[in-house]
Amino acid sequence: MFLYLTDEQEKLRSDVTSFVEKKVKPVAFELDEKCKFPVELFREIGERGWFKFNVPKKYGGLGKSTVNLFIVFSEIAKGLASLSVSLDTQYLLMEALNLYGSDYLKEKYIPSLVKGEIIAAFALTEKTAGSDIGGITGTAKKDGNEYVLNGEKRIVVSGTVADIYLVFLKTDPTKGAKGLSAFIVERNMEGVSVEPLNSSGLRACGLGKLVLNDVRVPLENLVGSEGEGAKIALSVLDFGRIGIASIAYGIAQAAFEAAVEYAKERKQFNTPISSFQGLRWMLAELAVEIEAAKLLILEAAAMRDKGLRYTKEAAMAKLYSSKVAVKAALTAIQVFGHYGYLKDKPLERYLRDAKGLEIAEGTSEIQKLVIARQIFS
Ligand SMILES: Cc1cc2nc3c(=O)[nH]c(=O)nc-3n(C[C@H](O)[C@H](O)[C@H](O)COP(=O)(O)OP(=O)(O)OC[C@H]3O[C@@H](n4cnc5c(N)ncnc54)[C@H](O)[C@@H]3O)c2cc1C
């Protein structure tokens, strides 16, 4: 199935799979049920070196390999998508710092992020500004050698447990998206508070609200230049979308594998339900779609690793894979009949988690907008 992976990548895949089987799957139900972020698992992922891909060697990374990220994100998502979503966010932060941060910020934060010693979150969305980030109302005002930050950010992955946040605020409120700038905010700064959110899916990724009340950060905490916030957000989201697509692929694959196994075992009318054409066609169609999703992701990942522009391909991969993940979860529930509808099977969680991926990091409608913009540019 993964013929084109190198031996090293196959080894990575088998290491991640065994970690998921031993450590993630046994606790996934409870973490989801209790909305608990698995800090220990997150740290172990850092210790195992799975935050090193795409990070320069100078800061403790291994250099570019987005295909490796696909392997890590998708395999972990088979056990618990929430955990994978937090990894994606950790990578978003490292990408932003790496591309736009000063040497000071890179040296201060990337080595600890790579080791998973600190947890990062990305805070863009506000109550009145989601798809339209130009509508952000949170502000950053220069005062001597500091910025004073105020605002409220919604639905932030890893928000309840993060040590640092990349926060997007207006340095020039008259300018829409062009007035946005990005700042590093530390959790323990005065005026920072977080509140958990009770979501329907991705419940173990620490979704939270971040409130900034007259938070003072040094000028050095500005990432890039004033006014570059939208550019930073959009370029790192291209990368993040490959991650979200990979997580969706993992969920789809897990749902599909469960459905196939069950269809072989379950008997009705004295025969395995896998013998019924109605189910066979359903699963055959799904198998094609999951393969197609994988190829879209790998295409986007390969383009990124070759240094090519991959905005359109990442949006296509995210749009399609999240749709396939929702369909796979629904199909699996249908194949399992009433068993699929009960909470003790992970199928209903797959559905709740997959649905979140059609919204996070740009809704499906916004992905179509991005794709169309690239087609007509
Ligand atoms: C699980 C999850 C995790 C998230 N994690 C983070 C995070 O870590 N950090 C963060 O900052 N944000 C995060 N978000 C927020 C996410 O990025 C936003 O939810 C998303 O960008 C959409 O914004 P919105 O929810 O305000 O919807 P809106 O922008 O209000 O959109 C509402 C509806 O209108 C549609 N719509 C909007 N504009 C257009 C248009 N131009 N054309 C067609 N249709 C349109 C949308 O597709 C949607 O269906 C997360 C969301 C979820 C669900």
Q: Does the C-beta of 365 come closer than 6 Å to ligand 1?
A: yes
Q: Which atom of ligand 1 approaches the CA of 125 most closely? A: 11
Exposed, middle or buried, 44 (CB in 10 Å: 0-12/13-18/19+)? middle
Whose CA is closest to 97, among 118, 76, 84, 111?
111
Does 2 fall in a domain? no
Q: Does the C-beta of 355 come closer than 6 Å to ligand 1?
A: no
Where are the alpha helices (H) located in 266-276, listed in sequence order? Answer: none
Question: How far, in Å, is the centroid of ligand 1 from the Cα of 131?
Answer: 5
Residues 239 and 216 in one domain: no
Q: Which residues contact 4 (CB under 8 A, 6 or more apart)?
A: 298
Tokens of 155: 């639905």
Q: Does the C-beta of 130 come closer than 6 Å to ligand 1?
A: yes
257 catalytic per annotation: no
Residues 219 and 235 in one domain: no
What phi, psi does 23 have (nearest 5°)? Answer: -110, -30
**Mind listing the pLDDT tens digit for each residue in 203-217?**
999 999 999 999 999
Residues 87 and 146 in one domain: no
pLDDT given for residue 22 in this prediction: 98
Q: Does the C-beta of 124 come closer than 6 Å to ligand 1?
A: yes
Domain harbouring 237, CATH code: 1.20.140.10
Handedness of CA 216, 222, 228, 231 (dihedral sign): negative
Residues 253 and 359 in one domain: yes
59-63, 71-75, 325-329: segment of lowest average pLDDT: 59-63
Tokens of 304: 């990124």
Q: How far is CA 333 from the centre of its chain?
A: 24
Domain harbouring 184, CATH code: 2.40.110.10
Q: Which atom of ligand 1 approaches the CA of 359 most closely? A: 53
Q: Domain boundary at 119, 154, 170, which?
A: 119
Q: Domain boundary at 201, 227, 253, which?
A: 227
The mean of the pLDDT values for the chain is 96
Confidence at 367, pLDDT banded by 50, 70, 90 = very high
Tokens of 236: 């790192």
Domain harbouring 19, CATH code: 1.10.540.10
Does 85 fall in a domain? yes
Residues 164 and 60 in one domain: no
Structural domains of the chain, count: 3
User: For ligand 1, atom 45, which residue shows the shortest CA distance?
Assistant: 365
**DSSP-assigned states of every residue in 95-126:** HHHHHH--HHHHHHHHHHHHTTSS-EEEE--B
Q: Which atom of ligand 1 approaches the CA of 361 most closely? A: 17
Residues 254 and 355 in one domain: yes
Q: pLDDT: is 343 or 268 the higher one? A: 268
User: For ligand 1, atom 52, which residue shows the shortest CA distance?
Assistant: 360
Q: Domain boundary at 119, 143, 162, which?
A: 119
Q: Which atom of ligand 1 approaches the CA of 202 most closely? A: 1
Residues 161 and 293 in one domain: no
Residues 339 and 353 in one domain: yes
365 is in which domain, residue-wise? 230-375
**Mind listing the pLDDT tens digit for each residue in 161-202?**
999 999 999 999 999 999 999 999 999 999 999 999 999 999
**Mind listing the pLDDT tens digit for each residue in 91-136?**
999 999 999 999 999 999 999 999 999 999 999 999 999 999 999 9
Where are the alpha helices (H) located in the chain, listed in sequence order? Answer: 7-19, 25-33, 39-47, 66-79, 81-100, 103-114, 229-265, 277-305, 311-336, 347-357, 364-375
Please choose from 132, 359, 373 the residue to mutate so as to test ligand 1's pocket, defined by most ligand atoms within 8 A of CB: 359
Confidence at 63, pLDDT banded by 50, 70, 90 = confident
Instruction: Tell me the residue length of the chain.
Output: 377
Residues 162 and 274 in one domain: no
CA dihedral angle for residue 25, residue 31, residue 36, residue 38, rounded to 10 degrees: -10
Residues 205 and 256 in one domain: no
Handedness of CA 236, 239, 241, 243 (dihedral sign): negative
Please choose from 361, 369, 371 the residue to mutate so as to test ligand 1's pocket, defined by most ligand atoms within 8 A of CB: 361
Q: How far apart are CA 280 and CA 72, in angstroms?
A: 30
Residues 12 and 139 in one domain: no
Does 45 fall in a domain? yes
Q: Say yes or no to pLDDT of 3 above 70.
A: no
Does 1 fall in a domain? no
Question: How far, in Å, is the centroid of ligand 1 from the Cα of 155?
Answer: 10
Residues 35 and 88 in one domain: yes
